Amino acid sequence: KQEVTQIPAALSVPEGENLVLNCSFTDSAIYNLQWFRQDPGKGLTSLLLIQSSQREQTSGRLNASLDKSSGRSTLYIAASQPGDSATYLCAVGSLDYGQNFVFGPGTRLSVLP
């Protein structure tokens, strides 16, 4: 059974810092991994999707990497801004889980002005 964890659970940084969020999964037989952002009381917004054949994806100040063999993905946020404050979740599309995703518990990020 696929299990997904995220470290740290919460993170507080001053504005302008570069930061890394971590996502780990137990079964490397995945077909993709997706990073989401969730603002309080809102739905999830997709940030980046990495297919299993890819090693990284970039969008603006965000860069996500994938290392299937070690069961890890990282989300790198450059030059953080207060507007980046949200909960970040990773979700793994597992081959043994059909057409579904297993979600991590999320990292709650606060960027202080």
Told to check if 54 binds other proteins by CB under 8 A, we report no
Q: Please tell me the distance from the alpha carbon of residue 111 to that of residue 113, in angstroms, as a whole number.
A: 7
Among 11, 13, 49, 62, binds other proteins (CB under 8 A): 49
Among 23, 44, 75, 92, binds other proteins (CB under 8 A): 44
Check: CB of residue 91 under 8 Å from CB of residue 33. Answer: yes
Check: CB of residue 72 under 8 Å from CB of residue 6. Answer: no
**Interface with other proteins (CB under 8 A):** 31-32, 34, 36, 41-46, 49, 51, 89, 91, 93, 98-101, 103-106
